[in-house]
Amino acid sequence: MAAEDHWKALFDQRASCSCRQALKGEESSWDEAQIRKQAEMFDPDNTGYISTEKFRSLLQRHGSELDPHKLEVLLALADSNSEGRICYQDFVNLMSNKRSNSFRQAILQGNRRLCSKALLEETGLSLSQRLIRHVAYETLPREIDRKWYYDSYTCCPPPWFMITITIVEVAFFLYNGVVLDRFVLQVTHPLYLKNALLYHPQLRAQAWRYLTYIFMHAGIEHLGLNVVLQLLVGVPLEMVHGAARISFVYVAGVVAGSLAVSVADMTAPVVGSSGGVYALVSAHLANIVMNWSGMKCQFKLLRMAVALICMSFEFGRAVWLRFHPSAYPPCPHPSFMAHLGGVMVGITLGVVILRNYEQRLQDQTLWWIFLSIYLIFVLFAIFWNIFAYSLLDLKLPPPP
């Protein structure tokens, strides 16, 4: 059977409910392995190609079976192919809600414009559909990506990471507020440093403190700004890019923050989730700037200004607190260097992750460069913590 015959046969199985669901991108028993099995059965010669002309005619004949946005992407793929044929793998990627680099590159290099109306102009959407559309316009710079996301997002799983980490941070803050009988500027309480979660230079050998310090905050004003920023920015980003990528950026910012303090502000403790929050926010803002013309979110200049003002206010508060007379001398108040560590992670690793929607990071050269730089910094900071404190003969504050 010719290659084009197995394509037509695949489309013509409309009597099968599972096939209709697979074509529409819905939940079904068809996964990528089963689609490949069908391809091998219909294409014994294993050519895996069909001419773009015949492919286009099949789409026009059976396009009603597809989501309109996916049909538009397939037509764009057909028109962009200069070799006059379509690879079956690209079709598999589309039906499996996956896109390879070659698939995305074919779209980017195509000369077809998306002629149908923009996603923002579609009417009659439910509240949940309008929310998904809003998230798409908030985070993605290209219309084809926005439509792809709108069709493929199922809210399963939900953005659990940012919601969970926020709930845990609030819970720990409330618990400490009850124990210390103080909610504003908890950090000035004499017993604040005795908590086993925050980072303290004398206790740097306790490795968990480089992460758990995010559950301690200087006060309700510190917690409030961090929670607002990580929910307003982090939740939409997680909805688009998934928990794995966003949690990686967040945790990388947290670790970079505490390590930056241990290198650049060696006598100070660290509290707060600002390292992770600043990594996410700075990555998002940098992505908007780099794709300014493509970002269609409303009032994007005003939103950037508000985000920068909030970040500057929180950073200024941290700087003021660091040099304010300590409530427990000779130990100073918490350092602000964690903020800067988070920003550096955001504009390097974070930007690469947010820019490559639905692409495999393993194939991105820039990803490996920035990841290598980050790992080198982590190794340097580890050796610095082991040897530099004794070599520099620092007078560290006494342990709490």
User: Which structural domains are found in the chain, ordered by start?
Assistant: 3-116 (no CATH), 118-155 (no CATH), 160-391 (1.20.1540.10)
Q: What average pLDDT does this structure show over 366-387?
A: 94
Q: How confident is the model at residue 68 (pLDDT cuts 50, 70, 90)?
A: low
Highest mean pLDDT among 55-64, 72-81, 330-339: 330-339
Q: How confident is the model at residue 157 (pLDDT cuts 50, 70, 90)?
A: confident
Q: What average pLDDT does this structure show over 163-192?
A: 91
222 is catalytic: no
Burial per residue of 150-160, b for 16 or more beta-carbon CB atoms within 10 angstroms, e otherwise:
bbbbeeeeebe
Residues 6+ away with beta carbon under 8 Å from 277:
226, 229, 230, 234, 250, 253, 342
- At 92 the pLDDT is 61
Q: Between 356 and 350, name the one with better pLDDT.
A: 350
- At 341 the pLDDT is 95
Q: Could you give the percent of the chain with pLDDT greater than 70?
A: 70
- At 67 the pLDDT is 62
In this predicted structure, the answer to whether residue 199 has a pLDDT above a threshold of 80 is yes
d(CA 400, CA 394): 17
Point out the least confidently predicted range of 54-58, 310-314, 381-385: 54-58
d(CA 62, CA 77): 17
- Give ∠ CA 321-327-331 in degrees, rounded to 5: 80
- At 200 the pLDDT is 92
pTM: 0.77
Q: Are 270 and 261 in contact (CB under 8 A)?
A: yes
- At 331 the pLDDT is 82
Q: What average pLDDT does this structure show over 264-278?
A: 93
In this predicted structure, the answer to whether residue 320 has a pLDDT above a threshold of 70 is yes
Q: Are 263 and 344 in contact (CB under 8 A)?
A: no
In this predicted structure, the answer to whether residue 6 has a pLDDT above a threshold of 80 is no
- At 289 the pLDDT is 87
- At 272 the pLDDT is 93
**Of the residues 258, 274, 282, 335, which is catalytic?**
274
339 is catalytic: yes
- At 1 the pLDDT is 42
Q: What average pLDDT is seen over the chain? A: 78
Q: What average pLDDT does this structure show over 207-220?
A: 94
- At 160 the pLDDT is 94
Residues 6+ away with beta carbon under 8 Å from 169:
214, 215, 217, 223, 226, 227, 273
Q: What are the C-alpha distances in Å from 82 to residues 2, 73, 87, 91? A: 21, 16, 12, 17
- At 8 the pLDDT is 45
